[in-house]
Amino acid sequence: MSLNAESTAFRSALEVIRAVEPRVADAIGAELADQRESLKLIASENYASPATLLAMGNWFSDKYAEGTIGRRFYAGCQNVDTVEALAAEHAKELFGAAHAYVQPHSGIDANLVAFWAILADRVESPALKKAQVRQVNDLTEADWFALRRELGNQRMLGMSLDAGGHLTHGFRPNISGKMFDQRSYGTDPATGLIDYDTVAEAAREFKPLILVAGYSAYPRKVNFRIMREIADSVGATFMVDMAHFAGLVAGKVFTGDFDPVPHAHIVTTTTHKSLRGPRGGMVLCGPELADQVDRGCPMVLGGPLPHVMAAKAVALAEARRPDFAGYAQRIVDNAQALAEGLLRRGAKLVTGGTDNHLVLIDVSGYGLTGRQAEQALLDSGIVANRNAVPQDPNGAWYTSGIRIGTPALTTRGLGGTEMDTTAELIHTVLSQTTPGANADGTPSKAKYALDPALAETVSKQASDLLTNFPLYPAVDLG
């Protein structure tokens, strides 16, 4: 029997790899097998298409291409120019953006490019003006000191981590928290929702240079029109990190006040997650910031990854197809069906539901920490991640929440009926897991007890649920 193109491509690739390091080939095959058999509910993960995956494994990986299209520091970049231009063209058309910069290697790289572009554009200081008009080598140590002090002492206002914000929005463990004097806005303690009046009050008091919107664990829409009005009221640059929900913007599920691109000065995103592309980042902006953004390499980035930019071009072309809008809507429909199934079974959800691709379960209602729940679910074939909830008493390591998302299962074709079954499996595991104790008898935030037979049964049920929804059905590794 003849093999299709996808099976031939991946089998051939593994044969070539196996000839050099068979353990790597084995690990690649094992990863596909694991992903095929488990319920992937990581909200930030998805499955890229075979075309997108194959676009990363080619000779573009061999090429250095610092600089931008037509202005490279290396010769022989004409083909890199082609794929970078294609990726940028697709991004601009997909999101309605004036400018797209597709070089960032990740979401944090995209955010750093945006931060430094804003700083270079907005900060008015003698040291910065001197740096802009003189050669770098002419700056004195005193000039550099003044420049570092000015650029590193600006203010950023972003969503708090426990309310669903992201580490790269000015928090101390991340470089952004060392660059900026940061303050957070949270959510209403009673509802878990953003209180825009409270955000406006914080902005008036703090007067940030940058107001950041966007999230990694907030299960509702954000009104970007109101956030832009708040930014304008204090003269702040409004930045949106849409890494998690970019696919919902691309698929026109989020429109009007809930589409960040028309309202933000600058937008960053990853290209995987709900956008279903390769792991990487991207920056969208208007013409006023385009020149600064295009200095991302060498300002923040090293050499761009041409093979990944090629994959971004493929994935963005896929997202421009009409069927992507239906896919994006199904992500939200599935998340809401999953939330409803959990609520019917007595689970406690942050904000009481979802408007987007993710659901945040407060597992304290089951008497568990997030870490205990995460591992118990993994034992049972359900892959999720622990996450803080608002005012989390267990902190960011143990947490009191589990974050689940539907982009990956939606890619596989699961729908509302399967989401209800998934809710039943999750509830079964969490309701049958009990917290454990340390050796001295004190309560443990990590140890737990779950009947192995129950875990095995749920794992089998999860695998059976996926039988009719094969992952990469065109790929047969033999």
Catalytic residues: 64, 66, 241, 270, 273, 279
Chain-centroid distance of CA 417 in Å reads: 27
**What span, in angstroms and rounded, lies between the C-alpha atoms of 247 and 410?**
12
According to DSSP H, which parts of 41-185 are helical? 50-55, 78-95, 107-122, 126-133, 141-151, 175-179
Paired tokens of 149: 């002090």
If you search the block for the tokens 């059976």, which residue do you land on? 464
In Å, what is the CA distance from 192 to each residue of 218, 245, 352, 367? Answer: 9, 19, 9, 20
Residue 329 CB coordination number (10 Å)? 15
Q: Are 285 and 260 in contact (CB under 8 A)?
A: no
Position of tokens 């093979």? 307
Q: Which two tokens stand for residue 308?
A: 């990944």
For 223: left if phi > 0, alpha if psi spans -120 to 50, otherwise beta; the answer is beta
Helix axes 370-379, 452-466, angle to 10 degrees: 70
Count of CB atoms situated within 10 Å of the CB of 34: 11
- Owner of token pair 């990854």: 305
DSSP symbol at 349: B
Termini Cα distance of the chain: 12
Which two three-digit tokens encode residue 88? Answer: 């940028």
